């Protein structure tokens, strides 16, 4: 069994981006990070994104509207960032407060600054195998983990558990694409799937994006399969200072004994998400420079 080291692969990508950004003449890429309110997980995610941008040499602008911001006010803020020539990429951290319609906000970000890839245009480009758009960061991170771990999906049965817009659906589309590294035969499972364990057991590559701690157990995994655990779940743990520990959607202690390759939690998909956001920011910068001529 091989552990797929997301920390190592992400830090390789960050080093590559750092060298690329250092070589850029003049203005550096700029990311706008919008965080509405003080959700603790969002505070830590945005801080990590800001720190990683700084490490690479990407300028970041952190905007912290109050949790009471109206949908119309947030829309106006995004429209101003769309018009701001010094901003290459815009990320609005999810989850947003109840009065905000996230999907509408994602669609408001102009497609050429939509580095989170959650707007209609960029998700559509994934379905069209069009590489000029932005692939949302977690699915892009999963595909990069696979390719940098020499896992070619061609001829493989890829089973994705979860059909969210953020992870399950786009990663299924990416695995299905007609291009090198992809070409998988894809099955997507969800909460209404009958006999999910029997389908999971057919997977050569099993991607779990469910949000249920240790849902995937060894009896659901074919020996030798590649297992990608996207889940990040907090479970109570009185032995920890924090009172909780992080666990994935896969029961690592047992599944790791039969998997061919497996990602740990933490240290698997998580660090890749941030690295891919930075990669998308640099891509947005290049695309905008090209458009300017
Ligand atoms: P989500 O929007 O809640 O979607 C969960 C999906 O799992 C849904 O499609 C749901 O099915 C399915 N599901 C839930 N319970 C199930 C069950 N008992 N059997 C079969 N399917 C079930 O979650 P998400 O945003 O995709 O995130 C999934 C996990 O990944 C979470 O733990 C999240 O924290 C983590 N995550 C990690 C990163 C990272 O960077 N590492 C990024 C994003 C998300 P239905 O559609 O039928 O409801």
If you average pLDDT over every residue of the chain, what do you get?
Answer: 97
Coil, helix or strand for 263?
A: coil
Please tell me which residue in 5, 88, 114, 116 is annotated as part of the active site.
Answer: 116
State which fold the 25-109 domain adopts. Rossmann fold (3.40.50)
DSSP annotation of 195 reads T
| Spatial separation of the C-alpha atoms in residues 135 and 148, rounded to whole Å | 17
**Which among 40, 118, 161, 167 is the best mutation to test ligand 1's pocket, defined by most ligand atoms within 8 Å of the CB?**
167
Which residues of the chain carry a pLDDT beneath 70? none
At 227, list the tokens: 């297992």
At 151, list the tokens: 């896992």
> What φ, ψ does residue 186 adopt, rounded to 5°?
-110, 135
Question: 172 C-alpha to center of ligand 1: Å?
Answer: 13
Topology match between the domains 25-109 and 137-270 = yes
Quick one: pLDDT at residue 41?
87
Q: Angle at the Cα of 187 (from 168 to 1), degrees rounded to 5?
A: 80
| Spatial separation of the C-alpha atoms in residues 3 and 263, rounded to whole Å | 6
- Ligand 1 neighbours, Cβ below 6 Å, are 138, 161-164, 166-168, 189-193, 196, 209-212, 230-233, 269-270, 273
The model carries a pTM of 0.97
Quick one: pLDDT at residue 292?
77
Quick one: pLDDT at residue 144?
98
Task: For 166-220, write each residue's pLDDT tens digit.
Answer: 999 999 999 999 999 999 999 999 999 999 999 999 999 999 999 999 999 999 9
Question: 270 C-alpha to center of ligand 1: Å?
Answer: 14
Annotated active-site residue 93? The verdict is: yes
Please tell me which residue in 5, 88, 93, 177 is annotated as part of the active site.
Answer: 93
**Domain boundaries, given as residue ranges, for the chain:** 25-109, 137-270
At 216, list the tokens: 């995937």
Quick one: pLDDT at residue 232?
95
Quick one: pLDDT at residue 1?
94
State which fold the 137-270 domain adopts. Rossmann fold (3.40.50)
């Amino acid at each position: 069994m091989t552990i797929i080291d997301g920390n190592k692969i992400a830090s390789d990508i960050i080093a590559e981006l750092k060298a690329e950004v250092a070589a850029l003449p003049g203005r550096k890429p700029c990311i706008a990070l919008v965080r509405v309110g003080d959700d603790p997980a969002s505070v830590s995610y945005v801080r990590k994104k800001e720190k990683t941008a700084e490490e690479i040499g990407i300028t970041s602008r952190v905007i912290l509207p109050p949790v009471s911001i109206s949908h119309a006010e947030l829309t106006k803020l995004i429209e101003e960032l769309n018009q701001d020539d010094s901003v290459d990429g815009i990320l609005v951290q999810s989850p947003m407060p109840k009065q905000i319609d996230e999907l509408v906000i994602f669609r408001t970000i102009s497609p050429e600054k939509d580095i989170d890839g959650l707007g209609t245009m960029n998700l559509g480009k994934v379905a069209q195998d069009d590489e000029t758009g932005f692939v949302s960061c977690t699915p892009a991170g999963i595909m990069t983990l696979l390719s940098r771990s020499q896992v070619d999906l061609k001829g493989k049965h890829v089973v994705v558990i979860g059909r969210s817009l953020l992870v399950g659906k786009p990663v299924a589309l990416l695995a299905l694409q007609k291009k090198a590294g992809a070409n998988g035969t894809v099955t997507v499972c969800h909460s209404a799937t009958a006999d999910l364990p029997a389908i999971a057991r057919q997977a050569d590559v099993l991607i779990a994006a469910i949000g249920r701690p240790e849902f995937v157990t060894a009896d659901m995994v074919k020996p030798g399969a590649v297992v990608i655990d996207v889940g990040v779940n907090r479970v109570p743990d009185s032995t920890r200072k924090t009172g909780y520990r992080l666990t994935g959607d896969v029961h690592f202690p047992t599944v790791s004994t039969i998997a061919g390759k497996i990602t740990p939690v933490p240290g698997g998909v998580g660090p890749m998400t941030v690295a891919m956001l930075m990669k998308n920011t640099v891509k947005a910068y290049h695309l905008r420079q090209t458009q300017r001529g």
